[in-house]
Homo-oligomer: A and B are copies of this chain.
Amino acid sequence: MIFAEVVGTVVATRRADGIAGAKYLLVEQCSHRGKGRGRYHVALDVVNAGVGELVMIAQGSSCRQTSLSDRKPVDALICGIVDLVDEQGQVVFRK
């Protein structure tokens, strides 16, 4: 999984096999310390992530392994909200 920060929302009313109740968030890829890299993706949110939070993004078929995204055409999923990253015994990110 890669790190990303939630930076916004994407609205798309016409969709393939619409996912009722799903929220598409705009996320910016980050370093493991939470620093943005200027690369943006759209990810489905199933954990109620909020703008400013550091999250983990799962890509590919792994995204469909939740009840909400099962059998849906989605290839990026927010699969966890990061509380803390420890690198070599040092906390390099804390929520």
Q: Name the contact of A83 in the complex, choosing from B13, B41, B83 (C-beta under 8 A).
A: B13
Tell me how many residues of A have a C-beta within 8 Å of chain B.
58
Most buried by B among A9, A16, A86, A92: A16
Complexed CA–CA distance, A10 and B64 (Å): 22
Q: How far is the CA of A62 from the CA of B83 in the complex (A)?
A: 27
- Chain A, 52-95, CB within 8 A of any chain B CB: 56, 58-67, 69, 71-89, 92
A-B contact list, 30 entries, CB within 8 Å:
A1-B24, A1-B41, A1-B74, A1-B75, A7-B88, A8-B32, A8-B86, A8-B88, A11-B85, A12-B83, A13-B83, A14-B80, A16-B47, A16-B78, A16-B80, A17-B67, A24-B80, A26-B85, A26-B87, A31-B40, A32-B40, A32-B42, A51-B88, A58-B73, A58-B75, A60-B61, A62-B64, A64-B65, A65-B73, A74-B79
